[in-house]
Amino acid sequence: MARATFGMGCFWAAEEVFRTVPGVTATEVGFSNGQDAGVTQAQVFSGEAGHAEVVVVDFDPARVSFTALLEHFWAGHDATVQVKPIVRSAIFFHDPGQQAEAETSRAARPQAVATEIAPVGRFWRAPEKDQLYVCRHAAQAAQ
């Protein structure tokens, strides 16, 4: 198993991009790559703490490559703008191979993108109500 971490703006929408990709075994949303100590939820949402909303994607590399996940990442959001620090476009790599693939993929974009590429930092899981949010609410709406 392997892990990838992506910031694509709202983590609810980002999770929905990946959760049904064949080879993805789990998704989880939360916050990463901000200040580690003494951060309150208010600081996270204000942008003061520097965190990004992220989706963590666990995947089986024998079934789906990191490169394929990057294609879902690019197709799943507008990487040409940064709305605010918490909802930024970012690829937080877990190893040098992911870093190289992310940089190559970003360089191949046909237009300039504002996507940050950085080592993954500490992850704070969002509350349970935020996990699988779109999936759960779509099911409720269909009832």
Cβ count within 10 A of residue 124: 16
Q: What stretches in the chain show pLDDT beneath 50?
A: none
The yes-or-no answer on residue 135 being catalytic is: no
What is this structure's pTM? Answer: 0.89
Give the contacts of 11 (CB within 8 A, at least 6 positions apart): 29, 30, 53, 54, 55, 126, 130
Selected catalytic residue, list 2, 3, 6, 10 = 10
> What does the alpha-carbon distance between residue 16 and residue 70 come to, in Å, rounded to a whole number?
15
pLDDT at 118: 97
> Is 2-142 in CATH node 3.30.1060.10?
yes
pLDDT in tens, 98-128: 999 999 999 999 999 999 999 999 898 888 8
